[in-house]
Structure 1
């Protein structure tokens, strides 16, 4: 499986895992956040469940917009060079989710630093890892490269600071020194 699709499925899984306690038990969430144990108000329960459903929606959208589940009935010709109609929003979705993971990781780190509660370290580490993989995918996995049909090598590479003697031999037809 490609790193890009793994990132999108991990994003969706992490978001669903975060949303489940918000939907299942708003009372537990209020009890963990409040210094005194009390019953939740209807407004707190509404906001907790709404936030949980919103997080699940974002996770599902990240998978749908990644192109791993085709939403069209036709497929494009990859040799045509046109934009992929199956996943035209794949890169923007990945940038938004990577930013989301980075922001949540930063927030959890600040909470961990401020309160000293180790429970904030887990989302800090997972969010940082997902943000790093997302940034890596944006930087390196989003371009197709210019691959040679004959050799399979990337045409954008240069010979600096080392020369490619084998390629020079094939190009000029001469023997290397």
Structure 2
């Protein structure tokens, strides 16, 4: 499986898991995150369920906008994440937005974990941080094909500054690559 699609499905899965908990048992969330046990207010239940529906919507949009679900009736063509692919024109921007979301969620969970020291915040911090790092990896390495030289097999986007590749230059008659 491509790393990009692993990121897409892990984002959708994590957001769906959070939304499921917020939609089904909003009182449990209040009990887990508060020091004293009490019944949640109707406002807390309302906001919990609204957040759950929002997270589920973001999860569905992530899967749809990245092209993981083909929206055409033809399944003969493979789904790619190329920038010129008309099936997933929003794949890279969606990945960037969800990566920022996971990074912000991880830092926010870290702040609450540092303040309260509860395991629920630590779990959220670790999972969101891991997914954010996979998204960052996809943004850096998996979002473009690169420009590979047919003659040397090297990536043409690299530069020799500040360290020149003298060994490769020796192999090609002193020519700079």
The answer to whether the superposition gives a TM-score over 0.5 is yes
Cross-structure match for 2:157: 156
Secondary structure of 2:167's aligned partner? coil
Is the CA contact 2:15–2:56 (under 8 Å) kept in the aligned structure 1? yes
Q: TM-score with structure 1 length normalisation?
A: 0.79
Distance 1:82 1:132, change over 3 A: closer
Structure 1 residue 96 displacement after superposition: 0.7
Determine which structure has more spread, i.e. the larger CA radius of gyration: 1
Q: Which runs of 4+ in 1 moved over 6 A?
A: none
- How many matched pairs? 167
Tell me the CA shift for residue 161 of structure 1. 1.9
TM-score, normalised by the number of residues in structure 2: 0.79
Q: How does 1:69-84 map to 2 (within 5 A)?
A: 69-72=69-72, 83-84=84-85
SS in 2 for 1:164: helix
Contact 2:106–2:125 (Cα < 8 Å) also in 1: yes
> CA separation in 2, counterparts of 1:4 and 1:130?
11
Whole-angstrom distance in 2 between the partners of 1:10 and 1:94: 12
Aligned to 1:67: 67
1:133 offset after TM fit, Å? 1.1
- The CA RMSD measured in Å over matched residues stands at 2.8
SS, match of residue 52 in structure 1: helix
Deviation at 1:9, TM superposition (A): 0.5
Aligned pair in 2 of structure 1 residues 114, 38: CA closer, same or farther (>3 Å)?
A: closer
Measure the CA separation in 1 of the matches of 2:86 and 2:45: 40
Going from structure 1 to structure 2, the CA distance change for 1:40 and 1:115 (only over 3 Å counts) comes to closer
